[in-house]
Every structure is written in C-alpha cells, then in structure tokens.
A and B are shown apart, each in its own frame.
Chain A
Amino acid sequence: MKLSKILLGIDRRYIFIGVALSIALPLLMPIGFGTSVTRQVQDVYDFVENLEDGSTVIMSFDYEPSTMAELDPMARSMLKHLFRKNARILGMALLAGAPGIAENVLREETELAGREYGEDWVFLGYVPAPTAAMLRIGEDISMVYPTDQYGTPLTEFPVMKGVKNYRNIDLVISYSSTAMPQFWAQYAHDRYGAPVAVGATAVEAIRMYPYHDSGQIVGFLGGLKGAAEYESLMGEPGEGIKGMDAQTIAHLFMVLMIIIGNIGHFAERRGS
C-alpha cells in the first residue's frame, strides 16, 4: 500500500482518541511545563499591583458557559490578586447567560477570601443593551443598576459609597468571549478615561493587540495561557497552570498530525 494512502487514510476517530489522550494523560500525570510571561499580561498584573488599597474595580463577566474553561481561571486569579489589594469589587454581566457564572465565581472567591457582601463586593447582575449600559455608567451607575441582582437598592451598600460613575472607578475588567472588550475600550476608556483591562478567549485575544499598543487597554490575558501566566505571576497555581501541560501536549499532537497530513499530501502529488 502506498505511503500517501496510509497517511491520508487515517480514520478521524483515531485522531479524536489521540487528542483526548494527549489531554487526559497530562491532566492525570502533570509534567510541569513552565510558561513565559508576555508583556500584555505583565502590564495587567503591574497595573493591579500598583492600585491603591481599597480601589474600586468593575468586573464585567461578559461570557457564557461555553467559554468558562478559558475565562473562569483568569477571573478567579485576578479576584485573588484584587483582594490582596483590598479592592472593592462591583460584579456585573452584560450577556444574558453570564449572571450564573459571575455569581458562582464571585461567591466562591469572596468566601475563600473572607469578604463580606455589600461591604467589599456587590453583584449588580445582568443588564440588556450592553453599549448603552457602558455609556450610562459614565453618567451615573445607579441609572443602569438602581438595585443589585437581588433587588436591594445600591444606596444601602457601604461598598457603593462614593461610587457614581467612571471617575470613581480605578479599573474596569471585562472577561469576554465576544467583541465586548472593544466596546469597553471605546466607551469606558476613550470617552470617559477609565482604565480597561481584558480577559479574552484565545480566539478574541488576537484582536486585543492593537488596543493594547494604542493604550486603549492596559493589557490583556489571552486564553488559558493568559490565565496560567497570571497565576505564575501571583505565585498561586490554579486551573490555568494545571491545564497548560495538556494544552502543550495537545498542540504537539496537532502539529504532528499537520506534518503527517502534509507528508501524505506531497507523497500523493509525487505519486500522481
């Protein structure tokens, strides 16, 4: 049998099994590949590190369950960092599928950090029409969110004391699998001057480079690797670092498959 036929005739199900094993085995037996820190992540870390104690930060959870695996680890890691700085967190969600995720992450991390609801953090919930919400926060946050997710007026929370609009916000962070961070940069930063940091899925990360270069965002975390980089800067390994071994082996497997496919392709062309 011709080499090209063998290589090009590999049943795709063997490839699926190969991908599954290349992920499962490193998860079960971690190898401990290191990860280098990129400028984009370092800039976010440095910005948070330089925040004053008690700064106010908007955390916008702009993602739905399909991208939790990428964005949850970075949200958790950054929350830990922000709590080290005693930051006040205003959690919100601009996608309809996001409130449950945001609530889970915020509740678990604030419990771990021993933070009080209403004193140190508040969850504002989901609001439709995201760009209109971003603009109106620039005037008065209570116009967008008169109450928190559970119906309590914002004026009743000590964490909201002195917080009216972007002038009182030290950082906006958008975790997103969509173009939402670009709108945050467009409205919150460009129009109102609020610093914006981004946690993006790997698919979206490539769009963030020009915004970082232009200074419209302070930096960004791209995909699971971005989360792993942030965790390594924090010195607290989490889901990001745990997943990077599997990511590396799976990528090597993909590269191997691409090489095999190309060898088969060129062998077939030479044979014909």
Chain B
Amino acid sequence: MTETLGIWVAAILTLAIFSFLWKDNPLFRLAEHLLVGISAGYYLVQYAYSAIYKKLYVPLIDQGNLLFIGCAILGLLVFTRLIPKRSWLSRYPIAFYVAAGAGYSIPSGLQARVVKQMQISMINIFGQDTLWANISALVLFIGVVSVLIYFFFSAEHKGVLGFFSRIGIIFLMVGFGASFGYTVMSRITLLIGRLQFILGNWLGFL
C-alpha cells in the first residue's frame, strides 16, 4: 500500500514537472516548491546528523575526547559572521580550513592532474606497436601542442603561431562537440529513466 502510494505521488509529481514544457502552471510550481522545501529539510537533517551528531557530539560527549572542544570552538566561530562587530573571528576557522585544504590537495592535485597527465602526453610518436597507435600518438601530440599554443597569449597569434593556434581551435571544437554529445546522452538517459518509471512502475506497460 505504502509503495503504491509512493509510486502514485512520484508519477503525479513527475507529470507536474513535465507540464512546464507546455507552459508555466500552478501544478508545476507546487511540485517545484515541494522539491525545494523537502530538499532543504532533508539536507539540513542529514548534515546535522552526519556532521554535528556523529562527528562532534559522539566523540566529544559520548566518548569524552576533549580534542574535539577545539573543533567545536572553531566551528562555532563561523557563526560570528552573523555579528558584524565580531565577524573578524570567523576568519580563523576559514583560514584553518583553507590552509588544511591547500596542504593536502595542492601537492597531490599537481601530481594527479598535471604531472601524470603530462607524462602520458610525452610519448614516442613513431615508436608505437601499430600504425594506428602511431597515428593516435601523432594526433595527441599535435592536439596538446596546438591547444597549448592557443592559450599562449604573450605573443600575437600570427604566422606559425596563428597557424597552430587555429589548429588548436579545431581540437577544442572537437572536444566541445564530444562533451556536448555526452551531455545530450546524459539528459536523454534521465528522460528514459522517468519514462521507464511512468510506463513501467506506474502504468505497468513494461
């Protein structure tokens, strides 16, 4: 019974959201407001339970780990932003957060997102096993170099620089096209999911 009711509510709300495709209407707005309200409530409870209760209350109060007093004070200092005269105090937890975040993310981020990617770009263009692999490596090489030249702004894009810059634009456009294609696929899948729900779970046609 509960499951059936849930399916009906979900189906009606789905149709209410889709009704916007025809034109704006009160049913769509009702569904939209429900989504915003329920999401806000859900996230508030989830964050309060997962962060404040599980990660602060339990270790500090239940387990008596006094180290967490410092964490609690830092957390509370964020709220001083609400008091204009004392809002400067909120800079301390923010500074702590930024410093810690930068410390653990910059070195590993550079390694994972720059150095490793540079390494796979530095390949022997003509030393691959197959002809196709050689062609791929050559395309990769031209693509990387020409796109980097496109983003080189210290000299006017004329002559050789302009030529490679234009090739770089072609590579960028191909990249954007592939990205757009994937985005279309993604959005179509979401619609497939909803229609599978309406035609299958709700109407029982599938």
Assess the B192–A216 pair: CB atoms within 8 A. no
Among residues 104 to 125 in chain A, which have CB atoms less than 8 Å away from a CB atom of chain B?
Answer: 125
A182 and B22 alpha carbons, distance in the complex (Å): 39
Distance in angstroms between the alpha carbons of A86 and B5 in the assembled complex: 37
With A23-B192, A97-B42, A131-B104 as given contacts, are A186 and B113 in contact (CB-CB < 8 Å)?
yes
The complex places the Cα of A125 from the Cα of B50 at a distance, in Å, of 9
Q: Which of B46-67 contact A (CB under 8 A)?
A: 46-47, 50-51, 55, 58
In this complex, the interface size class of chain B, counting residues with CB under 8 Å from chain A, is 35 or more
Name which residue of chain B comes closest to A186, CB basis.
B112
Q: B47 and A243: CB pair below 8 A? A: no
CB distance from B8 to the nearest CB of A (A): 18
Q: Which residues of A contact B120 (CB under 8 A)?
A: 210, 213-214
Given contacts A69-B193, A97-B43, contact A28 B205 (CB under 8 A): yes
CB-based nearest A residue for B105: A131
B108 touches A187 (CB 8 A): yes
Q: Smallest CB-CB separation from B205: which chain A residue?
A: A28
Give the distance to chain B from A240, nearest Cβ to Cβ, in Å. 10
Asked if A267 is at the interface of the complex by the 8 Å CB criterion, the answer is no
- Assuming the A-B contacts A96-B46, A128-B55, A222-B182, are A70 and B195 also in contact, with contact meaning beta carbons closer than 8 angstroms in the complex? no
CB–CB B196/A242 < 8 A: yes
What is the interface of chain A mostly: helix, strand, loop, or mixed? helix
Pick the residue among B46, B108, B190, B195 that contacts A66 (CB under 8 A): B190
Which of B43, B182, B194, B195 contacts A205 (CB under 8 A)? B182
Sample of 14 further A-B pairs with CB below 8 A, known A23-B191, A69-B196, A99-B46: A13-B21, A24-B195, A28-B206, A68-B193, A70-B190, A128-B55, A185-B112, A202-B182, A203-B182, A214-B117, A222-B182, A225-B185, A247-B192, A250-B192
A-B contact pairs, 24 of them (CB 8 A): A13-B21, A20-B191, A23-B192, A66-B190, A68-B193, A70-B190, A70-B193, A97-B46, A99-B46, A125-B50, A126-B46, A127-B55, A186-B112, A187-B108, A191-B108, A202-B182, A213-B120, A214-B120, A216-B116, A222-B182, A223-B182, A242-B196, A250-B188, A251-B185
| Among all A-B residue pairs, the 3 with the closest Cβ atoms | A69-B193, A202-B186, A186-B112
**Residues of B with Cβ closer than 8 Å to A?**
21-22, 42-43, 46-47, 50-51, 55, 58, 104-105, 108-109, 111-113, 116-117, 119-120, 178-179, 182-186, 188-196, 199-200, 205-206
